[in-house]
Each structure stands twice: as structure tokens, then as C-alpha cells.
């Protein structure tokens, strides 16, 4: 029987499939169901810095006493954080799989103060989602990337639990950034985060939100960069995310070098029990190919492992399809 266990962020997971941060992971009863369906770990729904600021501002708008602003901001922040800490503690009592906390922030300092509380609440690891939309024409790419590196330094100095950064694709040199984070002792990266994207309603002439769920075709970008980063920065763990809709997708990303794979959209569409189908597909494939463990094939097709790594670098259609008429 195939052994699906993996090591991710120094944690032992019974399977390589992780349910990513979302509304699917915001309550203990859902997390219990996720464990029963076979997930190797769960990433709790993120606590958002922007959300706390918005809630505080809503209270402040209705308040006639400016001197009360600091109290309101602190109360709102602490109340939301306390609820999040309770979720961590309750989840740890109910399930045996690793519980990974998640914070989503837009500043480099706000969340460092909460990180220790998250660790003390019993979280097995911390996934940090920091994203700065590069819209300042006066700032260089290094200015933006320095925020990630500085935050990694601060968190690793304060925490003993593993820390992973969930990254977007908008970096000038993703491999270089991951390597710099590795040298700051970061334990892992998640490739990739899926951000809010705008769309335009041409009938109403207004800006709207684009589709929130990923599609299977989005795995291609994830696959390319997991393969390249895994083959270039070998000692940092990678959790692959975005475009994962079946067991075959998980297998591809493990072959490219991922240590674990996160799923979300497919569970919104098919329900949490669909995890069993994904995991069964992996197990059937492993038995068919005589792989006894994930380590037997993990990274077998990474950038470093294949004979022609230029296949990962190829970006022009003409070079690949020049013979098509």
C-alpha cells in the first residue's frame, strides 16, 4: 500500500493535500470534516489587517469623540484576534492534523505583534500573506521585496514555529526572492496566492470583481515556477497552490518538486468530501507506477532533475510550435 505521508515545514502530514485558507477553514466543524476526508493539514482562514481596519473605521465614523479612536481601534483589533486565537485552540483540541494559522497583511509591522500569540495558542505553523501592489512609480522592485525580507527576519527571531510566506507571481525575479527568504531562515513558500482581480462591466460602466475561483488551466503557471524554484532553491519547502482541481494536478506538482499541494476552489465546487477522490487518485497512480512513497517521485521532474531544463524556461510559442501551419 502506498505511503502518502510527506514532510512540510518540519511537520509530518498523512497526505500531501492541504486545504488552503478560505471560508472552508473558518470553523471547527469544517476542519473536523476536512480531517475525516483525508487532508494532511489545514490552513485556517486568514485574519485580515484590512478587515480589522475597516471594522474599526465603521465604529469611528459613528463616534463623536475623536479621543475614543485609539480605544475603538484597539478593541476591534483585540476582539477579532481573540476570536481567531480561540479558533486555533478549539481546532487543536478536535483534530490531529497540523493546524496552520494564516495572516493577511499589507504592512510589515502590524502582524509581528500578533505572531507570538498565534504560536502560544497552539498553531503548528504560520502562513503569512503579504502583498504590495507595485503602483508607486518611485519605488523599485527591491524596495517592495525588502519588506518581505525584513518581515521574515522579524518573525524568525520571535517565533519557534515554522513560517511560510504565500507569494504572488508579480516579482521581477521570483527565484532570487525565494533564495533570499531561505537565507533568512524562512521555512517555506506557497506558490501562488490568488488575489482579487478587477473586471469591467461594459453595460453598467463600472468596475467589478472577476471570477474568484481558479480554473484547471491556471496550474500551468504554478507548475512552471514550482519546478524552477524547487530545482534552484532546494532546501526550502514549497506548497503549490492555484489551479489544483484533481489528483493528477497534485501528482504533477509533486513531480515538479512541491512538498505539499493546497486545494480550495475545487472543494467549493464539489464539497469537502471530494478530497477523498483526489487522494484516492494519487494512491492509485502511485500503485500503478510502483511508487511506495511520495519521496520516490517528488522532484523527479524539477528544473534541476530533467535533462533539458530549458523546457521550463521556454516562453515563446513560435519556438515550440514553429512547425504548425
What is the number of domains present in the chain? Answer: 1
For 22, the grid coordinates are 478560505
For 108, the grid coordinates are 510589515
For 228, the grid coordinates are 524552477
Residue 201 domain-assigned?
Answer: yes
Residue 103 domain-assigned?
Answer: yes
What's the CATH number where 35 sits? Answer: 3.20.20.70
DSSP class per residue in 45-91: PPEEHHHHHHHHHHHHHT-S-GGGHHHHHHHHHHHHHHHHHHHHHHH
Residue 275 domain-assigned?
Answer: yes
- Structural domain range at position 195: 6-321
> What is residue 219's predicted lDDT score, i.e. its pLDDT?
93
Residue 215 domain-assigned?
Answer: yes
Grid cell 494519487 is found at 282
Residue 1 domain-assigned?
Answer: no
d(CA 255, CA 249): 10
Residue 128 domain-assigned?
Answer: yes
SS3 116: helix
CA distances (Å), origin 303, targets 6, 27, 77, 226: 21, 39, 44, 9
> What is residue 319's predicted lDDT score, i.e. its pLDDT?
53
For 35, the grid coordinates are 480531517
The tens place of each residue's pLDDT in the chain, 325 residues long, gives 799 999 999 999 999 999 999 999 999 999 999 999 999 999 999 886 554 444 434 433 444 434 434 433 443 445 578 899 999 999 999 999 999 999 987 655 556 778 888 999 999 999 998 776 777 888 888 888 888 999 899 999 999 999 999 998 888 899 999 999 999 999 999 998 877 778 888 998 898 877 778 888 889 999 999 999 999 998 999 999 999 999 999 999 999 999 999 999 999 999 999 999 999 999 999 999 999 999 999 999 998 888 887 777 765 554 555 555 5
Q: On the CB side of 188, how many CA atoms lie within 13 Å of its CA?
A: 26
Kindly tell me the burial class for residue 264, based on how many C-beta atoms sit within 10 Å of its own C-beta (0-12, 13-18, 19 or more).
buried
Q: Which residues pair with 239 in a beta bridge?
A: 190, 260
Cβ contact 139:99 at 8 Å: no
> What is residue 215's predicted lDDT score, i.e. its pLDDT?
86
Cβ contact 100:126 at 8 Å: yes
d(CA 218, CA 222): 7
Q: The whole model's pTM is what? A: 0.86
Cβ contact 263:275 at 8 Å: yes
Residue 75 domain-assigned?
Answer: yes
Residue 204 domain-assigned?
Answer: yes
Nearest CA-CA partner of 189 in 145, 238, 244, 253: 238
Q: CB within 8 A of 208, min separation 6: which ones?
A: 198, 199, 200, 201
Amino acid at each position: 500500500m502506498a505511503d502518502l505521508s510527506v514532510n512540510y515545514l518540519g511537520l509530518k502530514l498523512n497526505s500531501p493535500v492541504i486545504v488552503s485558507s478560505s471560508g472552508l477553514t473558518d470553523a471547527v466543524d469544517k476542519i473536523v470534516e476536512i480531517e475525516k476526508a483525508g487532508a494532511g493539514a489545514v490552513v485556517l482562514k486568514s485574519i485580515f489587517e484590512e478587515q480589522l481596519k475597516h471594522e474599526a473605521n465603521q465604529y469611528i465614523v459613528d463616534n463623536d469623540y475623536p479621543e475614543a479612536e485609539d480605544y475603538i481601534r484597539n478593541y476591534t483589533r483585540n476582539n477579532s484576534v481573540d476570536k481567531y486565537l480561540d479558533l486555533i485552540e478549539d481546532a487543536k483540541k478536535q483534530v490531529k492534523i497540523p493546524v496552520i494559522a494564516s495572516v493577511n497583511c499589507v504592512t510589515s509591522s502590524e502582524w509581528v505583534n500578533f505572531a507570538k500569540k498565534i504560536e502560544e495558542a497552539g498553531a503548528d505553523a504560520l502562513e503569512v500573506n503579504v502583498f504590495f501592489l507595485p503602483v508607486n512609480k518611485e519605488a523599485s522592485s527591491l524596495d517592495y521585496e525588502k519588506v518581505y525580507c525584513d518581515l521574515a527576519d522579524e518573525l524568525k527571531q520571535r517565533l519557534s514555529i515554522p513560517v511560510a510566506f504565500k507569494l504572488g507571481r508579480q516579482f521581477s525575479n521570483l527565484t532570487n526572492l525565494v533564495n533570499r527568504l531561505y537565507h533568512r531562515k524562512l521555512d517555506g513558500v506557497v506558490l501562488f496566492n490568488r488575489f482579487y482581480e478587477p473586471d469591467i462591466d461594459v453595460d453598467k460602466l463600472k468596475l467589478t470583481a472577476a471570477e474568484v475561483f481558479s480554473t484547471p488551466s491556471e496550474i500551468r503557471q504554478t507548475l512552471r515556477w514550482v519546478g524552477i524554484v524547487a530545482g534552484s532553491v532546494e532546501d526550502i519547502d514549497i506548497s503549490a497552490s492555484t489551479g489544483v482541481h484533481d489528483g493528477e494536478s497534485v501528482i504533477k506538482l509533486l513531480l515538479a518538486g512541491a512538498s505539499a499541494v493546497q486545494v480550495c476552489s475545487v472543494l467549493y465546487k464539489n464539497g469537502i468530501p471530494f478530497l477523498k477522490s483526489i487522494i484516492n487518485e494519487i494512491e492509485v497512480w502511485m500503485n500503478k507506477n510502483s511508487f511506495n512513497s511520495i519521496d520516490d517521485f517528488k522532484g523527479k521532474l524539477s528544473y534541476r532533475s530533467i535533462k533539458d531544463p530549458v523546457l521550463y524556461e521556454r516562453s515563446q510559442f513560435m519556438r515550440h510550435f514553429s512547425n504548425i501551419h
